[in-house]
Chain A
Amino acid sequence: MNTKKFFILLILLSSHFYLFSQNDHLFGILPSLNINHNISGNWTLNVKWEGRQVYSQGEANSEFEDLPVYERNDVATLISYKTDLQQVIAMGYLIRFEMGELIHRSIQQYTFLESGYSSRRSHRISADQTFSKVEDSEFRFRYRFTIEKPLSGVKVDEREFYLKINNEYLNILQGGEYDLEIRIVPVIGYKFTEDLKTETGLDYRIDSFINNKASHNYWLSLSIYLSY
């Protein structure tokens, strides 16, 4: 690593630690298991479990009394239909178990997939509607861009590492108020076989920065993708 690259990395890390030292943040782990099953032809069933364990929170953030805390479990089921090799539409339902509460969410999404010379990209547009007894209904409209690049060669082969970056923008409407959440998720993936991959990295989320003090969430993302 040359000196210039080292200093850029140092500045980026310092700014992250600066943000982290600010009051409004959450830090934790975000494990997920994604199971895909081809039902027939162009139809696929996706079942996803995602957990969330919080390890620390900022001084101004008193969301949790006692840490660490296992905050939530999400179970989502989506049915997708490939309208083309590059286009997939999906819809489904998510149930969230969060600190004794039950939350429901319906999901609709459209994904456009592209393959470049040495990368794969996807553009995902999705909408979801969340309902619970304790909070106002929440409506979100999201756009996510993903790029996947092999760390060796021009395509990700079996038993190879790859880099994947997600960048998502979430427009949120809840109780008559609008908010924007931005997510940046750089992960390192490993492809065991065509049907089994794991990904580990940082899931950084920022929200409430339009009208209030920004809230920063840092998650250690651990994902398994399994297909059969």
Chain B
Amino acid sequence: MTKWMKMITKNLKSRSLYRNGKFLKLLIFILFLHLTYNSYSQEKLEREYKIDESEVPEKASNFIKESEVDSRINWYREESEDDISIEAKFKNKGKFYSVEFSESGEIQDIEIIVRKKEIPEEVWKILDEHITEKFAKYGIIKIQTQFTGEATWLLKLLKEGITDHDCILKYEIIIKSQVEKEWSKYEILADEEGEILQVKKIVIRNTDNLEY
């Protein structure tokens, strides 16, 4: 074993491969191979990227203007295989808002990041019971209130706050839990009463470049 290692290091000491810049060329070639492979792969692609306000459909832009939100608005375009949507993200009165529109600018929903204590106690009690039935132990990562309905209702909600509205309210809760000895994230969609409508497992984003 030691003899084999010495042989490798002796060869490395000759350095001729590296002195001529061949080593760097080899690396560039490997990167090129990856690029080529990627451009031919047929994997599902989801992208979200920032866009300028001038690229936003007029209907969507007008909706935000009419809401009289006095914050810096960041606009994003989200593309997936079957859908394209436009999103306005902003922070208003200490809360993070995400207003989603269709590609043509029709309002879809309003999502607001909230804390657990902002959910009515009796609703949270039901919700917690249902989540515990599915997941023995869990931790909350994020809670969002999701409002859908008529454009006029949603506009009123954005203008006047969330206490008095006619919109349909749902809760979107992101949790972490260990199922079958594997940690994962789950997205739970529940109605206003705390009844669970849908549970989806979230694909965990790779963290290798943050760990090593």
Interfacial residues, chain A to chain B (CB-CB below 8 A): 29, 31, 34, 36, 41-42, 46, 48, 51, 53, 68-70, 73, 78, 80, 82, 84-86, 88, 90, 97-102, 111, 113, 115, 117, 120-122, 124, 146, 148, 152-160, 164, 189, 192-199, 222-225, 227
Residue from B27, B206, B210 within 8 A of A222 (CB atoms): B27
Q: A98-B9, A148-B210, A159-B47 are in contact. List 18 more A-B contacts (CB 8 A).
A: A31-B27, A36-B206, A41-B182, A46-B208, A46-B212, A53-B18, A68-B15, A82-B183, A85-B183, A85-B184, A85-B185, A88-B207, A97-B5, A115-B141, A124-B211, A159-B38, A164-B209, A224-B31
Q: Which of B70-89 contact A (CB under 8 A)?
A: 76, 89
Q: How far is the CB of B127 from chain A (nearest CB, A)?
A: 21
- A158 CA / B2 CA spacing, docked (Å): 43
Q: Answer whether residue B151 sits at the interface, using C-beta atoms and an 8 A cutoff.
A: no
* Top 7 A-B residue pairs of the complex, sorted by shortest distance between their CB atoms: A122-B210, A153-B48, A70-B18, A152-B49, A41-B181, A85-B176, A41-B182
Could you list 9 examples of A-B contacts with CB < 8 Å? A31-B27, A46-B208, A85-B184, A98-B9, A99-B9, A113-B207, A158-B43, A194-B205, A224-B31
What residues of A have a CB within 8 angstroms of the CB of B2 in the complex? 102
**B180 x A41 contact (CB < 8 A):** yes
Residue from A82, A192, A225 within 8 A of B38 (CB atoms): A192
What residues of A have a CB within 8 angstroms of the CB of B31 in the complex? 198, 224
Chain B's closest residue to A71 (CB) is: B12
**A111 x B76 contact (CB < 8 A):** no
What residues of B have a CB within 8 angstroms of the CB of A46 in the complex? 208, 211-212
Chain A's closest residue to B142 (CB) is: A115
**B9 x A101 contact (CB < 8 A):** yes
Chain A's closest residue to B38 (CB) is: A192
Residue from B6, B17, B24, B45 within 8 A of A158 (CB atoms): B45
- A29 CA / B24 CA spacing, docked (Å): 9
**B206 x A227 contact (CB < 8 A):** yes
**A70 x B183 contact (CB < 8 A):** no
Q: Answer whether residue B46 sits at the interface, using C-beta atoms and an 8 A cutoff.
A: yes
**Would A154 and B23 be within 8 Å (CB), given that A73-B12, A160-B49 are in contact?**
no
**A42 x B181 contact (CB < 8 A):** yes
What residues of A have a CB within 8 angstroms of the CB of B18 in the complex? 53, 68-70
**Would A111 and B211 be within 8 Å (CB), given that A117-B96, A153-B50, A196-B38 are in contact?**
yes
What residues of A have a CB within 8 angstroms of the CB of B212 in the complex? 34, 36, 46, 48, 78, 225
What residues of B have a CB within 8 angstroms of the CB of A164 in the complex? 209
Q: How far is the CB of B76 from chain A (nearest CB, A)?
A: 6
Interfacial residues, chain B to chain A (CB-CB below 8 A): 2, 5-6, 8-10, 12-13, 15, 17-19, 23-24, 27, 30-31, 34-35, 38, 41, 43, 45-50, 76, 89, 96, 139, 141, 176, 180-185, 203-212
Residue from A42, A69, A101 within 8 A of B182 (CB atoms): A42
Chain B's closest residue to A88 (CB) is: B211
**A84 x B176 contact (CB < 8 A):** yes
- A183 CA / B100 CA spacing, docked (Å): 42
**A160 x B47 contact (CB < 8 A):** yes
Q: How far is the CB of A102 from chain B (nearest CB, A)?
A: 6
Chain B's closest residue to A148 (CB) is: B210
**A99 x B183 contact (CB < 8 A):** no
What residues of A have a CB within 8 angstroms of the CB of B208 in the complex? 34, 36, 46, 197, 225, 227
- A96 CA / B71 CA spacing, docked (Å): 54
What residues of A have a CB within 8 angstroms of the CB of B12 in the complex? 70, 73, 97
